[in-house]
Amino acid sequence: QVQLAQSGAEVKKPGASVKVSCKPSGYTFNSYYIHWLRQAPGQGLEWMGIISPSGGSTTYAQKFQDRVTVTKDTSTGTVYMELSGLRSEDTAIYYCARDPKQWLVEGWLDAWGQGTLVTVSS
C-alpha cells in the first residue's frame, strides 16, 4: 500500500536550517506530486509547497517563498523540504502528502507521512 516515511524529529537553534525527508513507497515515485504542510502545536494545517517528482518543478506558498526549498532525489526516491532562517514560530510537525492523480495536480491529499516534529529553541 502507499506509504510515505519521513525522517525523525529535529531540534534546531534560531537562525539555523532544517532538512526533512520523505520517502514514498507502494507506487511509482515519478508519477505523483508531493506536497509539504505543517501544523504548529494545537493549531491547524498550513500548506507550504509542492514538487513534481518527474521534472522537479516547485510551487511555494508566498509566506514561505524566500525560506523554503523542496527538492527530490530520483536515485533514492526521496523528497526533501529545507526551511532556513528558523524561528520559534516554525516549531511544528511537518508533513509530506501525496496528490492523488498521476501526472496531474488535483490539490487534495490521499496519503500522508507520519509527520516530523521540528523544534526551534535556543
Partner 1 sequence: EIVMTQSPATLSVSLGDRAALSCRASQSVNSNLAWYQQKPGQAPRLLIYDASTRATGIPARFSGSGSGTEFTLTISGLQSEDFAVYYCQQYSNWPPLTFGGGTKVEVK
Q: Of 20, 80, 81, 113, which one interacts with partner 1 (CB under 8 A)?
A: 113
Nearer to partner 1, 27 or 112 (CB): 112
Q: Does 47 bind partner 1 (CB under 8 A)?
A: yes
CB of 13 to partner 1, least distance (A): 26
Judged by DSSP in three states, 88 sits in helix
Query: CA–CA separation, 87 vs 25, rounded Å?
Result: 32
Tell me how long the chain is: 122
| CA neighbor of 102 nearest in space, from 30, 25, 49 | 30
CB of 97 to partner 1, least distance (A): 8
Nearer to partner 1, 93 or 120 (CB): 93
Nearer to partner 1, 19 or 63 (CB): 63
CA dihedral 100, 60, 82, 113 (to 10 degrees): -20
| CA neighbor of 21 nearest in space, from 3, 7, 38 | 7
List binders of partner 1 among 56-75 (CB under 8 A).
59-63
Q: Which residues bind partner 1 (CB under 8 A)?
A: 35, 44-47, 49-50, 59-63, 95, 97, 100, 106-115
